Amino acid sequence: MQELIDKEPVWDLLIHDDFTDLLFHVNGHGDILRKLKPNSVEQLAAVLAIIRPAKRHLVDESWNTIMQEVWEKPTDGAYFFKKSHATAYALAVRVQMNLLSEVKE
């Protein structure tokens, strides 16, 4: 199991709806994944946060802006992901990406 966590997935797969529709947490959000093209767990965690209403406005921003603002708690009570939760989910997606890639090999 540790190998699936440590192995770097093929991040380019996140631009393909047929692949991302198999993943939990990000399925149905191919447009955001294609736009932002995350290439690390940290960036994928940020994408998971951006999918939530409180941070959706960041979808058109640069990665620098996203990473500066995505983990700030909203003042209006809008639904958002904390960094710890988003990172845990991103790691789970990474494992799933690696599992699906192994099945295709």
Tens of pLDDT, residues 7-39: 999 999 999 999 999 999 999 999 999 999 999
Read off the DSSP letter of residue 16: -
Q: What percent of the chain has pLDDT over 70?
A: 98
Q: How sure is the predictor about 1, in pLDDT bands with cuts at 50, 70 and 90?
A: confident
**Taking the model in full, what pTM does it have?**
0.94
**Model confidence band, residue 103 (pLDDT cutoffs 50, 70, 90):** confident
User: Which DSSP string do the residues of 30-82 spell out, in sequence order?
Assistant: HHHHHHH---SHHHHHHHHHHTSGGGGGGGGS-HHHHHHHTTSPPSS------
